Amino acid sequence: MTTATAMRVLIVEDEPDLGEVFYDYIVARGHKADVVRSAEAALDRIRRLRPHAIVLDVKLPGMSGLDFMSLPVVREAAIPVIVVSGHATEHQARECLRLGALEFLAKPVPLEVLGTVLEHIELLTTTADAPPRRERRVARRIPVSLPVRVVNEKGKVAYGTVVEVSATGLRARLDKSLKAGAPVRVTITMPGNQARLEVIGLVVRVETDGAAVWFLDLAPTEAERLLALAQ
């Protein structure tokens, strides 16, 4: 098993209640967290704290989250950024991912999904100053076989089978090719008598027989439905 590490996570959130929720959740997972209310304050923390990850709200007083991510000092730091937004649009999500965001989560943020993304960052964290902590199981991708329909922004429809799913995305075999970076609407036929699951996603990787898609607006209840497939 991989030994997980305690990370320093910088939370940039101007809503005090939400910032506290993120703080409590991240600390409960064994990490160190620091909350600031503006992008300007975050710049100072980057220099002094040297965080392993940043949870960043897009809409902030003063400098926006997008402007913050565009700064050379932020881009050169190469810190994984998890963007959160209460007014998510496909254009906004694509711009954040273009600027290097690791993940884009719509509010209300499913904490289970945030935890999954943090676990992914943990695996990439190898800094010597991060003290080891107790091992725990890393959330895995769930092998499935579910019918799926994918429609891109131009109305092109691809049909196929979801072969792997997680709380943050999926991998599917499709009968038509998709373009990397394109937003798509995904409809998954769930097992049994469950209602279909619909979600907006972004094609992050094109494969010979399909594609990998990141979810952009997965609701907490829908994330729970996907995670239940592992049971």
Domain 8-124: top CATH class:
alpha beta
Number of H helices, E strands in the chain: 7, 11
Q: 181: which 2 tokens? A: 């970076």
pLDDT score at 4:
54
Domain 142-230: give its CATH code. Answer: 2.40.10.220
DSSP annotation of 22 reads: H
pLDDT over threshold 90, residue 181? no
Q: What is the mean pLDDT of residues 152-180?
A: 90
**CA-CA distance, 68 to 24, in Å (whole number)?**
24
**CA-CA distance, 117 to 139, in Å (whole number)?**
9
H or E element in which residue 93 lies: helix 90-98
pLDDT tens for residues 63-99? 999 999 999 989 888 888 999 988 767 777 778 878 8
More confident residue, 62 or 230: 62
Average pLDDT, rounded, for the chain: 84
On the question of a common fold for 8-124 and 142-230, the answer reads no
**CA-CA distance, 45 to 38, in Å (whole number)?**
11
Every domain of the chain and the residues it spans: 8-124, 142-230
CA angle 133, 135, 141 (to 5 degrees): 130
Dihedral sign of CA atoms 26, 28, 33, 34 in order: positive
